[in-house]
Structure 1
Amino acid sequence: MRALLTPRLLCVALAATLLAAPAFAFDLVSKSEAMSDAAAPEVFAKGLPVLGAPNIDLVSPDVKKPLTGAVNIVVRWAATDGATIDLSTFKVLYGRLRIDVTQRLAGHAKVTATGLEAQNASLPEGSHRLMIQIADNQKRLAQHEVLLEVAAKP
């Protein structure tokens, strides 16, 4: 009987250890992508907001100060005028080159009709621009630009 319990106890101990372990950071953008983007020419093509498009708000991180280490990203969105969010239109583009990092972020995030929550997103040192896009069921596209400054690691 004692021999039968030992593998079970090992499995329980292993499961408890894995569940208690902190989540590892994931690279939202690689150093090479950041360097390629920094070398790209600046493009100043900003579109006008679409009347009635969903509202997008960055809740976290606080972009007023430089970031250090991995960050938690929390974005909230809401449709207007009785419309509903169309999650199939969710997209996140990185930098001047508009590198699509949607799947990379969504793979480490909880994406719902009310927003997105991702833990431990890592960005290399430097300036970064993310364009968050989402549309409603009436095809009204909203865009929200997020500028992040990542400080050198101590």
Structure 2
Amino acid sequence: MRRRAALALPALLLLIPARAQAAAWELVTADEAAASARAGLPPVARSLAAGPGPRIEVVTPSETAPLRPPLTIRLRFAPAPGAMVDPTSFRALYGAFRVDVTDRLRAHARIDAAGLVAEEVALPAGQHRIILSVADDQGRRGERDFRLRID
């Protein structure tokens, strides 16, 4: 019994680094990116929040510098005083056709009332626009136009 345990422990330790390194996952397909690129990106203000809804701040990645995948996306949700962000209300719509990529993000990201963290995000080369939105416990919704360029 001890011998089996002694052999099993090193084998398990070898597996830990492989499992700790998550593979990159595709937020947007190449076809979705191409269709959106053909439609073009309209000029839009970065913060689309109207009134007292929550603010969405992009912590990373940079929206001004060209990026290389895989990316880590970190968002911070800032509710109005006296309100709480409802993380189940989070939505992400991609590109000119507003393809709903919320479920893709939910499957790979950690989302809570404080914000979102998605690691190992793969995006095709090009310009990308994602409209992010979240509501608070009083039903007020805030939106954010998130744009990035992938080389």
Q: Which AA in structure 1 matches 2:30?
A: K
Alignment correspondent of 1:104: 104
Q: Which AA in structure 2 matches 1:121?
A: V
Q: After TM superposition, give the deviation of residue 98 of structure 1 in Å.
A: 0.4
2:48 and 2:72 map into 1 onto residues whose CA distance is: 29
Alignment correspondent of 2:69: 69
Identity, % of aligned positions: 35
2:46 aligned with 1:40: no
Which deviations, in whole Å up to 9, do the C-alpha atoms of 1:8-33 show, x marking residues without a partner?
246423433434x4221111101011
TM-score if structure 1 supplies the norm length? 0.85
Q: After TM superposition, give the deviation of residue 83 of structure 1 in Å.
A: 0.9
Alignment correspondent of 1:27: 26
1:55 and 1:138 map into 2 onto residues whose CA distance is: 14
Task: Label 1:60 to 1:17 Cα distance change in 2 as closer, same or farther (>3 A).
Answer: closer
Q: After TM superposition, give the deviation of residue 133 of structure 1 in Å.
A: 0.2
Q: After TM superposition, give the deviation of residue 107 of structure 1 in Å.
A: 1.1
Which deviations, in whole Å up to 9, do the C-alpha atoms of 1:23-69 show, x marking residues without a partner?
21111101011112222366678896321111110000011110112
For the Cα contact (< 8 Å) 2:44–2:145, is it kept in 1? no
Q: After TM superposition, give the deviation of residue 86 of structure 1 in Å.
A: 1.4
For the Cα contact (< 8 Å) 2:74–2:117, is it kept in 1? yes
Q: Which AA in structure 2 matches 1:75?
A: L
2:78 and 2:130 map into 1 onto residues whose CA distance is: 19
Task: Label 1:79 to 1:10 Cα distance change in 2 as closer, same or farther (>3 A).
Answer: same
Q: Which AA in structure 2 matches 1:74?
A: R
TM-score if structure 2 supplies the norm length? 0.87
Q: Which AA in structure 2 matches 1:39?
A: R
Alignment correspondent of 2:92: 92
Q: After TM superposition, give the deviation of residue 106 of structure 1 in Å.
A: 1.5
Give unmatched runs, 5+ long, in structure 2.
none
1:9 and 1:49 map into 2 onto residues whose CA distance is: 52
- Number of aligned residues: 150
Alignment correspondent of 1:138: 138
For the Cα contact (< 8 Å) 2:41–2:95, is it kept in 1? no
Task: Name the SS for the 2:139 alignment partner.
Answer: coil
